[in-house]
Structure 1
Amino acid sequence: MVRHLSAPLYVNSVGDKIPLIPGFKTSAVFLTSLSANLRIPDDELYPTPISTPSFRGSDAIPLPSLSSLSAMTLPHEASVADAQALNDPLDAPAPSPLADVPELTTYTAKSHEDRVAALKLVADSIAEQRNATSRSIIYNPTILSIYAAIVGFGVRYFYDGFDTLPVIITTLIGATMTALIAVRWFAGPYIDLAEKIGWDWLGEDQMIITKWGDKVIGTVIIGWARPGSPNGSKKEKKKNEKRKWGVVRAWTVAVKYRGKGVAKALLEDAVQEVKKQGGEGIEFSDEHANHHRVLPTYFNKGIDADEQRAFDLLHALSSIKGTFKNRR
Structure 2
Amino acid sequence: MGRHHALKPHHLYPVSPAHSAAPFQLLKTSYASPSAFLQTSSVSAFAVGDRIPGFKVSAAFLSSLHSNIFIELDSSYDSPDCTPYGLRPRLYDLPPSPLIGSMSSLVDVDMAPPDALRLPSNAESEKEDVGPKESTIGEDGVPTLKTFPATDNDMRAEALHIIADSVAQQRNTGANALIFHPIILAVMVGAFAVLIRIYAEPDGTTNWIMVGTTSPGVIMAVLGGIRMLLGPYIFEAERVGTWKWLNTGRSADEEQETGLHILGDSDEILLTKFGDDYIGAIVFRGAQPISSPASPGSNKRTRRAQSPTKHTKLVIRAWSVRQKYRRKEVGSALLEDAIKVGQAKGWIVGGVEFAKDHANSKRVLPAMFNGALDKYDRIANNTLEKKLAELDAGQEKGKKRK
- Please name the residue that 2:195 is paired with: 154
Return the alpha-carbon distance in structure 1 between the equivalents of residues 222 and 286 of structure 2: 44
What's the offset of the Cα at 1:108?
Answer: 0.5
Query: 1:229 deviation in Å?
Result: 6.5
2:289 match: secondary structure: coil
For residue 200 of structure 1, the aligned residue among 227, 240, 244 is: 244
User: Aligned match of 1:210 in 269, 272, 278?
Assistant: 272
Gaps of 5+ in 1: 1-95
What residue number does 1:187 align with?
230
Q: CA deviation at 1:287?
A: 0.8
Deviation per CA, 1:248-295, whole angstroms, max 9, x where unpaired? 100010111111110000110111111110111211111110011011
1:124 and 1:195 mapped to 2: Cα distance?
9
- 8 A contact 2:138–2:144 mirrored in 1: no
Question: 2:287·2:313 contact (CA, 8 Å) conserved in 1?
Answer: yes
Residue 318 in 1 paired to residue 388 in 2?
yes
Task: Say yes or no: does 1:251 pair with 2:319.
Answer: yes
2:160 corresponds to which residue? 119
Is 2:201 the partner of 1:133?
no
Over alpha carbons, which structure has the higher Rg? 1
Please say if residues 226 and 241 of structure 1, whose CA atoms lie closer than 8 Å, have aligned partners that are also in contact: no
Matched, 1:270 2:270: no
> Normalising by structure 2, what TM-score?
0.52
Matched length: 224
| Structure 1 partner of 2:299 | none
Change (3 A) 1:231 1:311: farther
In structure 2, C-alpha distance between the alignment counterparts of 1:292 and 1:97, rounded to whole Å: 40
**Matched residue, 2:366:** 296
- Letter of the structure 1 residue corresponding to residue 228 of structure 2: W
- Write the letter of the residue equivalent to 1:257: Y
Residue equivalent to 2:82: none
1:227 deviation in Å? 3.3
Question: What is the rounded CA distance, in whole Å, between the counterparts of 1:297 and 1:214 in structure 2?
Answer: 39
RMSD, matched Cα? 2.6
Aligned counterpart, 1:219: 281
Classify the secondary structure of the residue corresponding to 2:212.
helix
| DSSP 3-state at the match of 1:196 | helix
The aligned runs of 1:22-61 (5 Å cut-off) are none
With the length of structure 1 as denominator, give the TM-score of the two structures.
Answer: 0.63
Instruction: Quote the Cα distance in structure 1 between the aligned partners of 2:307 and 2:278.
Output: 35
Which of 336, 357, 360 lines up with 1:287 in the alignment? Answer: 357
Report how far residue 230 of structure 1 moved.
5.9
Summarize the Cα distance change of 1:201–1:141 in structure 2 as closer, same or farther, 3 Å threshold.
same
Change (3 A) 1:127 1:229: farther
The answer as to whether partners of 2:286 and 2:342 remain within 8 angstroms in 1 is no
- The whole-number CA distance in structure 2 between the counterparts of 1:322 and 1:218 is 25
Segments of 5+ residues of structure 2 without an aligned counterpart are 1-136, 248-265, 295-302, 396-402
1:113 Cα deviation from its structure 2 partner: 2.3
Q: 2:213 aligns with which of 154, 167, 170?
A: 170
Helix, strand or coil for the counterpart of 2:269?
Answer: strand
Residue 100 of structure 1: how far off its partner (Å): 2.7
Distance 1:308 1:141 in 2: 23
User: For residues 217 and 186 of structure 2, what CA distance do their matches in structure 1 show?
Assistant: 18
Deviation, structure 1 residue 171? 0.7
Please state how far the C-alpha of 1:121 moved relative to its aligned partner.
Answer: 0.5
Structure 1 residues 324 and 297 mapped into 2: Cα distance closer, same or farther (>3 Å)?
A: farther
